[in-house]
Amino acid sequence: MAAAGEQILHTEYSEIMQKSYIDYAMSVIIARALPDVRDGLKPVQRRTLYDMYELGIRYDRPYRKCARIVGDTMGKYHPHGDSSIYGALVVMAQEFKYGMPLVDGHGNFGSIEGDGAAAMRYTEARLQKITQEAYLADLDKNVVDFIPNFDATEKEPSVLPVRVPNILVNGAEGIAVGMATSIPPHNLGEVIDGMIAFMKNPDITTEEMLDIIPGPDFPTGGIVINRDELPAIYESGNGKIRLRGRVEIEPVKGGKERIVITEIPYTMIGANIGKFLNDVYSLVETKKTTDITDISNQSSKEGIRIVIELKKGADAENICNLLYKKTRLEDTFGVNMLAVADGRPETMGIVNIIRHNVRFQFELATRKYTTLLNKEREKQEIQEGLIRACDVIDLIIEILRGSKNVKQAKACLVDGVTDGIKFKSKLSQKTASLLRFTERQATAILEMRLYKLIGLEIEALIREHEETMKNIGFYEKVLGSRAEMAKVLMRELKALKQEFAVPRKTVIENAAEAVYEEKKQDAVPAVLLMDRFGYVKSVDESVYERNREAADAESRFVVSCMSDDRLCLFTDAGRMHLVKMEDVPAGKFRDRGIPADNICNYSSDTENVISVLPLAGIRGKSILFVTKSSMIKRVDGAEFDVAKRTTAATKLADGDSLICAGEAADDDTLVMRSEKNYFLRVAVAEIPEKKKGAIGVRGMRLSAGESLEAAWILRGDESPSVSLNGKEVVLNRLHIGNRDTRGVKR
């Protein structure tokens, strides 16, 4: 029941959810994750820079604690977590992230290798000079709109009056709801030239613009290797830029060479440098190459230097191609030039972005020069009033001496009202009645100090008036002609370029696809060791021989093979997993190895390995399978020479599992033991050969609910034995019986 005066509204729940989600999505898109195309800043960045401007933390003043900046920004403009504000502040100070850093950081602001910045209570910051002069200048000239902050106690700019396309200069990245932006940084000087070219020719094409701005200019340098694809990327705003690090090959004593990486792809900064080093280690461990002897990261404040030492006679160019193909030394930068334009997200090409920025520059200039013109006209009005007042200064003094109050004197100066004012003569009164100063002029006259009547001061006033009239003429000329305004803008842009532009760091070219010619390694004898926990490793045959006793005792499987073999791991689930020996890490005898799960599809959680056989050794031979329910068969080993990493080794009935899989010849015998200690020995020749998809035939007759406990394949004169009830049962002394019989009790 609704209370008196209340009304219950019935609304479809799905409609509420849809509206709420759309409101949330738009809030994230517009007010958090995506930059504005005009200033290229997200709200948190814009608010942080404006707060630093308001606090007076200029480039030529002392640094201030970042905690102060973050706290002030959070309290006044950005009611979110301090970590997001400090994170934005840190990134704007990192020269390896930004093409043109906007904040001058003092202290530990992180490193290119992914080290985080120190806590905000330890670091300090101030604005960069370019930020102050090209991003925050003219805020006092009404060039942008100011809007209330979150609690309407402060005003903040809706957009900063940025003089250059910051969205291109520093790039942008952000993830919104259902969309994301990823814009690479570009060279400031080239972007300014692009703006000037657009002002001269608004119909400029993307190809013509790329003659001026050839592509991205990453702060980490590197090489863009798909120049021919850039026109399509910059036309649509979408695509993939392929990057490579800069590599130098240096000679070393003894006829050796080493590869030195001096610049990395932009996508490698941070933790990916460590991942690159690990990837190179993996190439050596997995024997993709044996030419790399050492790798070291010798990077410092002076720059990147990653050194890869090579064996004597190694083909350095070929190793470089291997690194391009197998590591992030060659990577792609996904471009999605999405930004907020006219209040909505839009994907734009480079010409469209510059168009929006040029239009914004004209808007800024129009508002700036309109404000300046109005101020100059106010000055003109006051100056003309003061000059005119100097000509009749005796009369004005007479009016002031004869007036009872300021209001009476001002009324006489503005409207010629002489009532109540004592004059020396009727002529003075008549002349005073003809005065018609404006309100602003009258106020200035009444506030004028006597020293202004000195002759030199009057001359200075006249010169100042002439300068004011000159400024008014210039401002009216700029505001009256778009071409004149464009000249002014181009002149200012050229001055910014001259002061702040830096040489290009990234090379733009076309490069051929990296082709790595893998040298065929000579196969050598090796031994695979697999322990009871499923860890595998490979050791040289000589190492195994020296440690045979320990290896046999500690390993569940010991398999002799060649280093280029493939191994078949048969599991109790009836599956076979192929493992390349080259994927098994080679090491010392006491090395732990790696889980088999890491190099094949085997899962130790759902199956257990019961046998490991080299594929080369079973071609042309038979593999004997025995299941728990006593189903047996032989399968031609050639059936397991497949390309798939995992295949069904045998078909199993529901609830059944594989207990034995091994190579078997016609003159071998198979011994089966049941749970009730019945033994049956049969000749392998009596076991039919079937396809791997068949279940097989019954090997031993079992009683109800009984299953096989174990199975052994006996070869030649082997005489294994098992202990049973305190007695030894020698398996090769068992009578050879017929298949599908009960066997003998022991």
Which run of H or E residues covers position 567?
strand 566-571
Q: Is 516 assigned a catalytic role?
A: no
d(CA 67, CA 86): 8
DSSP state of 140: G
Strands ordered across the beta sheet of 631-636 = 658-664, 622-627, 631-636, 697-698
Query: Measured at the alpha carbon of residue 13, what is the angle toward residues 11 and 17, in degrees to the nearest 5?
Result: 120
Of 577, 704, 591, which Cα lies nearest the Cα of 644? 577
Which position has the token pair 């696809």? 513
Burial class (CB in 10 A: 0-12, 13-18, 19+), 234: buried
Give the DSSP H or E segment for 383: helix 350-391
736 DSSP assignment: B
Tokens for 539? 């050791």
Degrees to nearest 5, angle at CA 83 with 80 and 87: 115
Beta-carbon contacts of 237 under 8 Å, excluding residues fewer than 6 positions away, are 335, 336, 337, 338, 347, 348, 349, 350, 352
Closest CA to 170 of 216, 211, 224, 126: 216
Give the helix ranges, DSSP H, for 77-203: 82-93, 129-134, 166-169, 188-200
Question: Which of these is catalytic: 98, 122, 369, 451?
Answer: 122
User: 188 near 169, Cβ under 8 Å?
Assistant: yes
User: For the packed helices 455-480 and 482-500, what is the interaxial angle rounded to 10 degrees?
Assistant: 100
The phi, psi pair for 345, rounded to 5°, reads -70, 140
Please identify which residue in the block is written with the tokens 């291997």. Answer: 322
Cα three-residue angle 123-124-126, rounded to 5 degrees: 150
534: alpha, beta or left? (left if phi > 0; alpha if psi -120 to 50):
left
Token pair of 510 as six digits: 């076309």
Distance CA 679, CA 282 (A): 49
Residues with Cβ < 8 Å from 161, sequence gap 6 or more? 39, 135, 136, 137, 138, 139, 143, 144, 364
Q: Please answer whether residues 466 and 387 qualify as being in contact, where contact means their C-beta atoms are separated by less than 8 angstroms.
A: no
Order of strands, sheet of 575-580, starting from the edge strand that comes earlier in the sequence: 609-614, 566-571, 575-580, 646-648
C-alpha to C-alpha distance for 334 and 240, rounded to whole angstroms? 5
Burial (CB < 10 A; 0-12, 13-18, 19+), residue 83, is exposed
Two structure tokens written together for 436: 């018609």
Non-local CB neighbours of 428 within 8 Å, separated by 6+ positions: 395, 398
Give CA–CA dist 619/575, Å, rounded: 18
The catalytic residue positions are: 122
